[in-house]
Structure 1
Amino acid sequence: MSAEIVQLVEQAGPYLATAVSAYGAAVFTRAESAAVDATANLGRRILQAVWRRRDERGRAELEAAVQDAAEAPDDADAAAAVRLQVRRALREDAELLAELARLLPAAGETVQVTASGERSIAARTIGTAVTGDHTTIRP
């Protein structure tokens, strides 16, 4: 197995665990949530990218691993099963490996953001942020 894959999955591990904890088995169908922190949302994007690139059997295996991890959040073996599914997908798909490498922060990269004041927000990346009263967002 490529050292690059091992390193990427190791780096993605906390994001995956947080996404499973925040979204559970709905991680594959839920849109990004402003109420969920950036770590969970990045993990959700990683899992959705892997899921989209798998065949039916691969999707079912990934879904089962995520379901098990969601039902037993303190089970290290269940979390490892999710990482194993991601690792398998990366071994089989070089484009997916490149895609996930672009999603994850560079090794050693740190970001410091300060938000101050009423209704302030701080984000590295953001889709939609609404801080006003009585706001309606339409697609």
Structure 2
Amino acid sequence: MSVDVVQLAQDLAPYATTAITAYGTAVLARVESDAADATVSFGQRILRRLTGRDTPGTETTAEQEALAGTVCDLADAPDDADLAAVLRVQVRRLLTAHPGIAADIAGWARPAAPTTVTITTSGERSPAVQNNYGTISTGDSTI
């Protein structure tokens, strides 16, 4: 099975970044829980596989250690676009150097792609919600 590692790295980076943003430096050690968001859980799984932390007792490569270092750096500065770019490049290099890992991850089912939602509100006591399936009360005229 031939894997386009450039495209795969591009596809995986948002999941990894979402997991790093959610859990910070603990992302590599944190255990998945039933309550974890699917995107974050998938990002954690990717990062554990890429850094070799999915199989305890095995020796990690230089590429895996470099990626783990970038994960820690990005956890400290999650809005740093340069570090996010470094992460993508390191993922691509690692997948190129380890085609077995690339083929393994390429076969995994993916949750919906992570998205960023921006909600803006204006005015005194204006509520800001992404989804609302009920009544929103601001405390005025609730009779």
Q: Indicate whether the TM-score tops 0.5.
A: yes
Residue 18 of structure 1 aligns with an amino acid whose one-letter code is T
Matching of residue 8 in structure 1 with residue 15 in structure 2: no
In terms of Rg, which structure is larger?
2
Residue 90 of structure 2 aligns with an amino acid whose one-letter code is Q
Q: Which runs of 4+ in 1 moved over 4 A?
A: none
Structure 1 101/79 Cα, relative in aligned 2: closer, same or farther at 3 Å? same
Unpaired stretches in structure 1, ≥5 consecutive residues: 109-139
After TM superposition, give the deviation of residue 104 of structure 1 in Å: 4.5
After superposition, the C-alpha distances for 1:79-101 in whole angstroms (9 at most, x for unaligned) are 11222221111011111011110
Q: TM-score, normalised by structure 1?
A: 0.67
Q: TM-score, normalised by structure 2?
A: 0.65
Residue 84 of structure 1 aligns with an amino acid whose one-letter code is V
Matching of residue 66 in structure 1 with residue 71 in structure 2: yes
Percent identity between the aligned chains? 42
Structure 1 36/61 Cα, relative in aligned 2: closer, same or farther at 3 Å? same
After TM superposition, give the deviation of residue 3 of structure 1 in Å: 7.9
After TM superposition, give the deviation of residue 37 of structure 1 in Å: 0.8
- Name whichever structure is richer in helix by fraction: 1
Unpaired stretches in structure 2, ≥5 consecutive residues: 54-58, 114-143
After superposition, the C-alpha distances for 1:22-78 in whole angstroms (9 at most, x for unaligned) are 122222221113333110110110110011187353333112101111111111111
Higher RCO (CA-CA < 8 Å; seq separation 6+): 2
